[in-house]
Amino acid sequence: SETTYGGRPMYIEQNKFDDSPYEEKVGAVIKYCEAENAWIFMHDNIRKDRNTKDSSCPWLLRSPVTESYDVMEVDSTWSIWTGIINTGATFQTTCNGCNSEADCNYHGTCADGECICALDEEDGYRLYYGMHCEFPRPCPQLIGDAGDIWNLELVDSRTTWRAYGRGVYSYISGGNVSVGPDDAIGLMYSGSRWFGTVHPGWKDKSRSFWLQYSSQYHAFWDQMYEGERTLYVSAPTSRADFIAVDFFTVGREGGKYGPLGELLPAQVPVGSGYFECAFNWTQSQSVPVADTLRDQQR
């Protein structure tokens, strides 16, 4: 979402489901800060120091000094706050509009500056997702090396539930997973990793509850990585699929292991990836995955 601040555009973080504004959460902001003579990334609820509470520019990322009115023209090497100021962070921006089908990766059409992603002529599902139709539609069912089965969640008969442009999966059965009978386990992308997280008591939540949750989901504020609730953590990835993406179970915690704790490889050998697609969309016509998922959401 774009508005203005100090005569320059200001960009506000949108939700991770359909890219509309958050209703309950406060989104992060990218704006120009005259006090710093730079573009900054900030969040109203995060401060580097209590003494800067009233500052209009409590930046977490800061561009080099510039007078540019266009953040996309600014050098991509920014400073980042990690407890101290570090330089050399890479900050990349992409315009969410389009001028031609090339901007939609030839996976759709460009209409009024917006990519309209192509649909499958047979089943009516979108073939691609994302602002630029960059993400292929997700696998309908995953199977892990331990035999655990995860189904793609559906919002309705023609719409997949997604986060950060990627599909969202729910645990069905198998593997070395042990949770309460009323608990739900979701496999969701967080912006850089996949997290397999337990949601206590959520298994029988209504479809309207899940729709509201998905529209307000944010990996950081919803604490998708939290102690015993997190069963799986992937290696960092920007892929939309699971090809060669390693997963880890979470072991001991402590400073020795870093912020995610001890990460124990779930696949052998390391580097081979944990999940594979159980079947593709053509094969799924003979497998009642969609019906199963819709039953779960009622």
CA 208 to CA 34: how far, in whole Å? 43
CB 287 within 8 A of CB 279: yes
Q: Over pLDDT 70: what percentage of the chain?
A: 90
Q: Which residue would you say has higher pLDDT here, 182 or 223?
A: 182
Over residues 84-104, the mean pLDDT reads 91
pLDDT tens by residue, 178-190: 888 899 899 999 8
pLDDT number for residue 297: 37
Q: In the predicted model, is pLDDT for residue 295 greater than 80?
A: no
Does pTM top 0.85 for this prediction? no
CA 170 to CA 230: how far, in whole Å? 14
pLDDT tens by residue, 32-70: 999 999 999 999 888 877 665 557 789 999 999 999 999
In whole angstroms, how far apart are CA 55 and each of 32, 33, 35?
Answer: 14, 11, 10
CA 78 to CA 81: how far, in whole Å? 10
- The distance of Cα 98 from the centroid of its chain, to the nearest Å, equals 22
In degrees, rounded to 5, the angle at the alpha carbon of residue 57 between the alpha carbons of residues 56 and 61 is: 160
Confidence of residue 227 (pLDDT cuts 50, 70, 90): low
